[in-house]
Structure 1
Amino acid sequence: MDKILVVDDEESIRFVLSKGFERIGHATDTAATIEEAVERLNEGLYFCVFLDIKMPDGSGLDLIGSILKKPNPPSVVVMTAEATMKNAITAMQKGAFDYITKPFDFDVIDILINRIVEYRKMSSELAKFKSGAVEQAEGVMIGRSAPMQELFKLIGRSANSDENVLITGPTGSGKELVAKALHSNSSRSTGPFIAVNCAAIPNDLLESELFGHVKGAFTGAFDSKSGKFLAASGGAILLDEVGDMPLTLQAKMLRVLQDREFYPVGSTKPVKVDTRALASTNRNLAEDVASGRFREDLYHRLNVVHIKTPSLSERRSDIPLLAEHFLLKIAKTLNEKPKMIGSGVMDTLVDYDWPGSVRELENVVRRAVIMAPGGTITLDDIPGELSGAKRAGAPGGALGQLVKEVFDSSAHGQAHRKMVGLVERELIEIALARTGGVQTQAAKLLGLNRNTLKKKMTELDIDSE
């Protein structure tokens, strides 16, 4: 259903919008009166209605209510030549998606259509969650943002290979979920998946945990024990927080990855193993190699395929979807009706920088569900530091610090040029990420024409692919 209905008594408006919508791939019907619009709405399905206020047989504002009562109602965009506060407030209160004034630039209309399409996709997804039509399995990654789509593609390309994979990213960003996705989509999916947290096990016990031991190998070894590597044979093992593995054990790990065999602690007989090795860390292993904390040969052996999980601040558009998912997940755990997110709360969640990434968001939603006395989560139910935290662009935040650093590091008279270059690069890269690399759409998002964007990308050496 990609059809648009244009309701306006001016023939020129109907003609221009119809041609414009058809140019971007949307079939269009038109109506010159409220009565004709009602007939059209009863006959066909539309995903969007562009509705003029002043019509010959009534006010377009009075039609909004009946439009929105329809099953899977179209989004309504109100058009008017009279840009009064009263009209704008009334239109939004009645449930209009947006309100635009004549004359309008079709580039603005194009961006608006894209917003509506994305909004309806997300709303449809959330409706499925709430109705139970889609059951999100525990551990399934959720995201529609460009960084997550790229992550999904990389997982798809890497899953069926038996090569080692190094997964890096901030704490709480879902590195173990990536490892599980790699395994569940591989030819080894029927085999075991075993995760070992190298940071949580004491150094003197980690070798035995991974490779097992024979009876009498050390004090307290009353029986022989097979380790996690053997338990994962035929499947995959995740070496979580591999950057915390002691150097003495790293040499033995290298042998396992090279020769596919190991010696249990206290044994002189090698054990052959068929296990795919996945490793994850929030550390910068390249820096650890340079400082001597991590073996270079092991780093290269693990880093055959490198997957980086994005932080939540790099995928803000996924926050509403994740928050709704956690609300449903928590409600199911508590065996109660899911709570709603109240006014202003979602904006606060999206605006926060989430140093603890997705895990922190889940914890905040869980706390809010517990703290909210009624069925709606309000700003009073979320931690004060969320609403009080400064974003990177806030005065005195990271941007202010960056400006100071640029002033301190720039030659006399060069600070403005250097700062503008830094900001322009960030703006362009974010716009390209949000539009999937489509330069025409990125240019519209930035308010530039495409040639200007291409020129700036060349000047700033931004990859066009």
Structure 2
Amino acid sequence: MAHILVVDDEKNYCTVLSELLGDEGFRVSTAANPYAALEVMNRENIDLVLSDLKMPGMSGLEFLKQVQSEIGEIPFILFTAYATVETALDAMKSGAVDYLVKPCKNEEILLAVKKALGYRRLQAQNAALRRELDVERSGGIIGNSPAVRKLLDDVERAASVRSSVLIFGETGTGKELVARALHHAGARAKEALVTVNCAAFAENLLESELFGHERGAFTGATQRKRGLLEVADGGTLFLDEIGEFPLSLQPKLLRALQEQRFRRVGGTAEIESDVRIVAATHRDLQQMTETGAFREDLFYRLNVVVLEIPPLRRRREDIPLLALHFLRRSAREMDRPVRDLAPETIQRLQQYSWPGNVRELQNVMERSVLFSTTAVLNPADLPAPVGDVAQNVSPGASNIPEFDAPLPELMDRMEKELIRKALRQTGGVQAQAAELLGISRSNLQYKLKKHHLI
């Protein structure tokens, strides 16, 4: 049931309205002035405000404008015993949904309340639809940073060609979202998008899953099974975690990509399949080819169009938008009162390093929403270690060491520690660590040897 806030400096009027609305099944809170009302609104999720126009300290119109500025769009019904055409026009221009003259009949109040709550539902539905449309247009990729805008531009260009696409990104950055955006923006959007996680299967099971098998091909193969390459015919096959693809199966995959045909396990017939391959990994495939862990010819076959998803720490300006998206979605699903982020909360979120990227942010917001009891999410609602980030530490700041050695030695220590930190944040992938540090990969390898880190 809707939660209504009644604001009036006349205690008797608050009592009368509270009883009237309570008898209709509404949840009602009261406040003697706008300042007390703002405190209630910061704690509770309010659906409608009934406010007197003339109050000491702050008028109803000033209160309405402050709520719009600090909290957002909430329907207002304004009451006054001093009605004029001018005040009525001012109220409606400021955003009030209705304007009633005291004394009011009960039927008149209830009709205005129902009309305002209908407006509130329509407002919420429209806002949710706009958010869903915005997310849908970008394939679910949320952000306005230059890095995300470039990624979306690259996705749009890559979607128009048939070439294989290789997506690089740390764990939790949203590689599958990019793969889906590619598929739905391209000519194959009406056909199947088939996903296989290469790290989720043992070698023999992955071969059967991808290529299919004939009846009797191995123990337990009691009937023929179509492989995912066959299922995806005409559409897109997304090979997630391609860096984990078994070396022994890579020649068979390479042949299927080159010739668009393959054989099922235990079969002799050639099966044709027109699929577009999109692969993703968090690993440095170039380095894996150098060590023999990944076939060079398969790498170049996949590495036609390359899309790199930036980690969350490299697009901190997107964090408020992402956090608010996850917060409102979680609040809607869990039916929780929280609907906004306090400025201090945004600051904490932007200061944290997010080693788990967008997936970690999503989990943090879900947990915070679950335990929050107020309309605005505060820093105290954030779980550790996100909520423990010092407020006076700027993103990327490092601790200054004690002056216990000459400057060159101190610089070496700091350089060594920064390299270690970069390798930890990138899961040991040297190419990504070098990019994070702003140096070339060969320079990073030189420094690794210099500091005896390899």
The two structures share one fold, judged by TM-score above 0.5? yes
Selected match of 1:131 from 118, 124, 127:
127
Q: CA deviation at 1:379?
A: 1.9
Q: Which residue pairs with 1:41 in the alignment?
A: none
Distance in 1, matches of 2:360 and 2:408, equals 30
Task: Name the aligned partner's letter for residue 386 of structure 2.
Answer: L
Q: Secondary structure at the match of 2:223?
A: coil
The answer on whether the counterparts of 1:128 and 1:134 sit within 8 Å (CA) in structure 2 is no
The answer on whether the counterparts of 2:338 and 2:373 sit within 8 Å (CA) in structure 1 is no
Distance in 2, matches of 1:131 and 1:298, equals 46
Task: Name the aligned partner's letter for residue 69 of structure 1.
Answer: K
The 1:345–1:237 alpha-carbon spacing in structure 2 relative to 1, beyond 3 Å, is same
Q: Which residue pairs with 2:396 in the alignment?
A: 392
Q: CA deviation at 1:331?
A: 2.2
For 1:240-389, list aligned pairs within 5 A.
240-389=240-389
The answer on whether the counterparts of 1:236 and 1:276 sit within 8 Å (CA) in structure 2 is yes
Q: Which residue pairs with 1:4 in the alignment?
A: none
Unaligned runs of 5+ in 1: 1-61, 74-126, 398-402, 411-428, 431-465
Q: CA deviation at 1:258?
A: 0.3
Q: Which residue pairs with 2:168 in the alignment?
A: 168
For 1:34-73, list aligned pairs within 5 A.
69=65
For 1:386-425, list aligned pairs within 5 A.
386-389=386-389, 391-395=395-399, 407-408=411-412
Q: CA deviation at 1:343?
A: 4.5
Distance in 1, matches of 2:202 and 2:331, equals 37
Q: Secondary structure at the match of 1:238?
A: strand
The 1:258–1:344 alpha-carbon spacing in structure 2 relative to 1, beyond 3 Å, is same
Distance in 2, matches of 1:225 and 1:352, equals 47
The 1:388–1:272 alpha-carbon spacing in structure 2 relative to 1, beyond 3 Å, is same
Distance in 2, matches of 1:393 and 1:69, equals 39
For 1:52-131, list aligned pairs within 5 A.
69=65, 131=127
Q: Which residue pairs with 2:209 in the alignment?
A: 209
Aligned length: 293
Q: CA deviation at 1:392?
A: 2.7
The answer on whether the counterparts of 1:261 and 1:271 sit within 8 Å (CA) in structure 2 is yes
Distance in 1, matches of 2:373 and 2:321, equals 23
Distance in 2, matches of 1:364 and 1:204, equals 37
Q: Secondary structure at the match of 1:345?
A: helix
Q: Which residue pairs with 2:444 in the alignment?
A: none
Give RMSD over aligned pairs.
3.1
Q: CA deviation at 1:405?
A: 8.1
The 1:71–1:156 alpha-carbon spacing in structure 2 relative to 1, beyond 3 Å, is farther
User: Quick check: which has more Rg, 1 or 2?
Assistant: 2
The answer on whether the counterparts of 1:151 and 1:307 sit within 8 Å (CA) in structure 2 is yes
Task: Name the aligned partner's letter for residue 395 of structure 1.
Answer: N
Q: CA deviation at 1:235?
A: 0.6
Q: CA deviation at 1:178?
A: 0.7
Distance in 1, matches of 2:400 and 2:263, equals 56
The answer on whether the counterparts of 2:338 and 2:377 sit within 8 Å (CA) in structure 1 is no
Q: Which residue pairs with 1:146 in the alignment?
A: 146
Q: CA deviation at 1:396?
A: 5.4
Distance in 1, matches of 2:125 and 2:399, equals 38
Q: CA deviation at 1:328?
A: 1.7
The answer on whether the counterparts of 2:217 and 2:265 sit within 8 Å (CA) in structure 1 is yes
Distance in 1, matches of 2:410 and 2:257, equals 45
Task: Name the aligned partner's letter for residue 156 of structure 1.
Answer: E
Deviates more, 1:200-209 or 1:127-136: 127-136
The 1:68–1:150 alpha-carbon spacing in structure 2 relative to 1, beyond 3 Å, is farther
Task: Name the aligned partner's letter for residue 350 of structure 1.
Answer: Q
Q: Which residue pairs with 1:231 in the alignment?
A: 231
Distance in 2, matches of 1:147 and 1:240, equals 22
The 1:142–1:404 alpha-carbon spacing in structure 2 relative to 1, beyond 3 Å, is farther
The answer on whether the counterparts of 2:334 and 2:370 sit within 8 Å (CA) in structure 1 is no
The 1:409–1:319 alpha-carbon spacing in structure 2 relative to 1, beyond 3 Å, is closer
The 1:408–1:197 alpha-carbon spacing in structure 2 relative to 1, beyond 3 Å, is same
Distance in 1, matches of 2:66 and 2:160, equals 46
Q: CA deviation at 1:388?
A: 3.5
After superposition, give the CA deviation of every residue in 1:388-428 in whole Å (9 maximum; x if it has no partner).
3575313159xxxxx98883399xxxxxxxxxxxxxxxxxx
Q: Which residue pairs with 1:159 in the alignment?
A: 159
Distance in 2, matches of 1:191 and 1:338, equals 40
The answer on whether the counterparts of 1:215 and 1:221 sit within 8 Å (CA) in structure 2 is yes
The 1:379–1:338 alpha-carbon spacing in structure 2 relative to 1, beyond 3 Å, is closer
Q: CA deviation at 1:337?
A: 4.5
After superposition, give the CA deviation of every residue in 1:420-460 in whole Å (9 maximum; x if it has no partner).
xxxxxxxxx99xxxxxxxxxxxxxxxxxxxxxxxxxxxxxx
Distance in 2, matches of 1:287 and 1:406, equals 32
Q: Which residue pairs with 1:178 in the alignment?
A: 178
The answer on whether the counterparts of 1:130 and 1:328 sit within 8 Å (CA) in structure 2 is no
After superposition, give the CA deviation of every residue in 1:320-339 in whole Å (9 maximum; x if it has no partner).
11111111211232244543
Q: Normalised by the size of structure 2, how large is the TM-score?
A: 0.59
Task: Name the aligned partner's letter for residue 381 of structure 1.
Answer: D
Q: Secondary structure at the match of 1:69?
A: helix
Unaligned runs of 5+ in 2: 1-57, 70-122, 402-406, 415-434, 437-454
The 1:240–1:232 alpha-carbon spacing in structure 2 relative to 1, beyond 3 Å, is same
Distance in 2, matches of 1:223 and 1:164, equals 32
Q: Which residue pairs with 1:123 in the alignment?
A: none
